Amino acid sequence: MEQDVRDADGAELSPERGSQVNESRPLDDIVIGNDQAIDKLREGLISHYLPELQSSKQALQELTQNQTILLDTLEQEIAKFRECNSMIDLNSLFTEAKVYHSKLVNIRKDMITLHEKTSKLKKRALKLQQQKQKEELEREQQRERDLERERQLTAKPAKRT
């Protein structure tokens, strides 16, 4: 019981090998089925592949939706990391501000100490200046007394009477 097997072009295939038989047929001999057969073939193909295509389409839509959600989540996480980095920057700025504040406090203490020392030195310089003036005045007075005494001790010629 040998069966006549043909390929998609309608060429006869040998049953042993499944290959084409070297028979040339003119194009006019190819029988084109009627519209109803074509419709049934089309409907068969569509009914065979359509559920898989629809499920694939739905899977792709879910995948796209999940990717969108994932991208949004990723953007939020990136924003959080940027915020954390800015917080680290703020923390370093606050640490630096504390260091500079302590330096300013130390400078202020040094300035107050220097002001107190200069005030004491000015008072001491004023006292020394006053003491020096007093000593100068006493020396001047002592010289005048010595000069007066010398004048008194010098012999004066007697007056004639």
Host H or E run for residue 154: none
Q: Does 86 map to a domain?
A: yes
| pLDDT of 21 over the 70 cut | no
Cβ-contact 4, 18 below 8 angstroms: no
Q: What's the pTM value of the predicted model, to 2 decimals?
A: 0.41
Q: Does 52 map to a domain?
A: yes
Report the number of distinct structural domains present in the chain.
Answer: 1
Work out the pLDDT band at 12, boundaries 50, 70, 90. low
Q: Does 12 map to a domain?
A: no
Q: Does 10 map to a domain?
A: no
| pLDDT of 81 over the 50 cut | yes
Look up the domain containing 124 and give its range: 33-139
| pLDDT of 155 over the 90 cut | no
Q: What is the pLDDT of residues 84-130, one digit of tens each?
A: 888 888 888 899 999 999 999 999 999 999 999 999 999 999 999 99
Q: Does 156 map to a domain?
A: no
User: What is d(CA 115, CA 109) in angstroms, rounded to the nearest whole number?
Assistant: 10
* Strand pairing class (12-13; 5-6): antiparallel
Q: Does 153 map to a domain?
A: no
Q: Does 16 map to a domain?
A: no
Give the total residue count for the chain.
161
User: What is d(CA 101, CA 54) in angstroms, rounded to the nearest whole number?
Assistant: 69
